[in-house]
Chains A and B, each alone.
Chain A
């Protein structure tokens, strides 16, 4: 298999070009996934760019992104493939009407279980694709444990077995990303087949850079302040810490409001963009406007 990436720094740079700021770990795992031909299981808090990673990788490869959104009750027919019953029925009907052709039952069944009557769903689609694809299996933790097994064959061998047709093997190994919000423990079997990548909230340097990249017309000073305030808020024990996307929303709002320098009043007034629980907002507002105890003691 021809590898897609030269080295880890190349991955990082390429991702940077499409405005995805990867840290060492992210770039390293993407690189390895390509080299080892293994899927990547991406875990982490909501809103840290797990799904975006798959999209960005697809973008730099110029590949088609095939997305399977998981939900409770997802089954084979929606994830893998389905026979087009209506078309099959029509075919049989048509056969019956044109009596003279006299097809035998065997021929007939071969005929209606052929590619023409197969409806591909995302997983099979990714396997059969001729062009470059990136397969994104989103929120895999929403699947029931039993349904998880659907994925195993694809993830380890990149093939799908269809009883009537035989095994379909991938023409080229697609890059596969699975994302999980960690609402339940995934099975060992699934984890074993994947490389594991945990994307946490970015450190302050990276967050500032993300804000600078993604928010148009923001000044360096404001971006710096935003990143620092967000870090302080994340250090407080909250129900839900602000995610990167919320940070970006907040920075956008501040720019729209024409804020140059964040003061307490402005910070507190716009906190509801960063935090979604009333108790969290109250707590953070209190923390931000009170003097840190340590400083009081020492000064």
Chain B
């Protein structure tokens, strides 16, 4: 561990806590959260005013001083949970049975994934559950979810992790695998169904859809809470087993703005979708301001000469026309096949969300055929819905549904080539993996000659370009620029410069 020297620490803090904080700050920076020197010092002053045993207050003190962006909260929370988790010998994997209860229960992995816990004997959980049968555990789970009791949930989490996760000391995995094993054994779907039935009986008779929906949401949020408890339990054990730094490294995830479009998990996709709306709003405000400020119109010769009369004919005070910046026209041509679909979706979403900044936006999508989808976006406020319709209704398959850039461009040029004018900016989105079809790159050259500019956005890392069947270089030579656009940050940067 490198030691950071952020100036003198305020007196009155013990050495161990200082060291822990030091590691914590380094990890935050590793995770991409910018923590400046003063912020680090502030945090140290802040925790002096907080009783250390109050974990929640401690957490908020650190967050308020060091995390200044809501999008970074999740990353902060993960690091915090790792560094300041509740510890104790009871979480140690090696002496799993050697805790207060005195059970001698080695719940190590029994072979492959078959650790069902059937007849496995005692799972010692905190208190009451010492000789618990699977039925009792199921009942406890049911009770916990029924009442939403936090303590009970924590206990269920503890017992079930101990029994089902089959954690091995020293195994270098993240928690996901253990989580999966635990959840699989708990049969949460079944419990949900039972809870819903119960809710129905309580009402007496048929529930209205609204009531069903509310009950469903309520239980779902409780199940979610339970899942979090289980995750926390697993994490605590992993930290106890493998140490803080190793765990921090394993669990480190990119910040939302750095998530790769092409490899985003479903959960990350949801987060990205949420992040895009505030982003578009910010962009729109920024572009609007840029348009209004910081631009001067062309020199107004007539006006300057007239004013020069008062200086004896010397044009001392140049006059300018009122700025009337032209809004660019945009044509988006997007590959929506397989792996790059997510990227195309985001870009379409982003560009349409700020379409007020352009005089006209037209969108085309292709795989090996090409279709115009502008109409899906016109007259609807709901961009999410429009993007969805693009994916389901657009006619983009010509032969076999494998990307064929060459043919798609041919169709584009034939049908819409005439409509490209000197104010049109053409954006081409795709990885240029052409499946070894002919490239037809002369079309790009022709487009370039007619359009104001042609940009190519590629969601692949630059180092992969022109490897295998990627021919982005061949197309790129005719474009005004090719850009790597792997995450929201890069996409935002590009769009910002575009308008």
Interface of A toward B, CB cutoff 8 Å: 7-8, 24-25, 28-29, 31-32, 35-36, 38, 41, 43-44, 72, 144, 182-185, 188, 191-192, 194-198, 204, 225, 228-229, 231-232, 235, 237, 239, 262-264, 267, 277-279, 283, 287-292, 294-295, 298-299
Contacts and interface: CB of A to CB of B under 8 A. Distances in A.
A185 B282 contact: yes
Contact of B286 (A8, A184, A237, A295): A184
A281 B361 CA distance: 27
A10 B63 CA distance: 21
Contacts of B212: 291-292, 295
B273 A287 contact: no
Contact of B214 (A36, A184, A194, A228): A228
B73 A32 contact: no
A195 B385 CA distance: 39
Contacts of B267: none
Given A32-B49, A298-B192, A299-B193, A195 B214 contact: no
Minimum-distance CB pairs A-B, first 5: A298-B193, A28-B60, A191-B68, A195-B64, A35-B49
A294 B192 contact: yes
A263 B210 contact: yes
Contacts of A290: 209, 213
27 contacts: A7-B51, A8-B57, A28-B50, A32-B50, A35-B46, A36-B42, A36-B45, A36-B46, A184-B282, A195-B42, A196-B69, A228-B214, A228-B218, A231-B217, A232-B214, A232-B217, A263-B208, A264-B208, A264-B209, A279-B385, A283-B382, A287-B213, A288-B213, A292-B212, A294-B192, A295-B196, A298-B189
B29 to A, nearest CB: 15
B196 A299 contact: yes
B9 interface: no
A192 B189 CA distance: 46
B498 to A, nearest CB: 18
Contact of A292 (B49, B60, B213): B213
Nearest to A298: B193
Contacts of A43: 70
Interface of B: 34, 36, 38-39, 42, 45-46, 49-51, 54, 56-57, 60-61, 63-65, 67-70, 73, 189, 192-193, 196-197, 208-210, 212-214, 216-218, 220-221, 273, 277-278, 281-282, 285-286, 289, 293, 380-382, 384-385
B260 to A, nearest CB: 22
Chain A interface main SS type: helix
A32 B61 contact: yes
A295 to B, nearest CB: 6
Nearest to A33: B64
A298 B196 contact: yes
A292 B54 CA distance: 40
Given A192-B38, A198-B70, A298-B193, A29 B381 contact: no
B489 to A, nearest CB: 12
A196 B67 contact: yes
B382 A183 contact: no
Contacts of A44: 70
Nearest to A72: B289
A183 B67 contact: no
Contacts of B214: 225, 228-229, 232
Nearest to A194: B68
B308 to A, nearest CB: 31
Given A183-B281, A278-B381, 8 more contacts: A8-B50, A24-B56, A29-B60, A192-B36, A192-B68, A204-B221, A232-B213, A295-B216
A188 to B, nearest CB: 8
A35 B197 CA distance: 52
B445 to A, nearest CB: 39
Contact of A36 (B49, B69, B217, B278): B49
Contact of A24 (B60, B67, B213, B380): B60
B80 to A, nearest CB: 13
Contact of B210 (A24, A192, A267, A298): A267
B348 to A, nearest CB: 17
Contacts of A235: 217
A144 B49 contact: no
Given A192-B39, A288-B210, A237 B384 contact: yes
Contacts of A287: 213
B192 A196 contact: no
Contacts of B380: 279
A29 B45 CA distance: 13
A291 B206 CA distance: 12
B233 to A, nearest CB: 22
A237 B273 contact: yes
Given A192-B36, A196-B63, A295-B196, A289 B282 contact: no
A144 B208 contact: no
A288 B209 contact: yes
B196 A264 contact: no
A5 B51 CA distance: 14
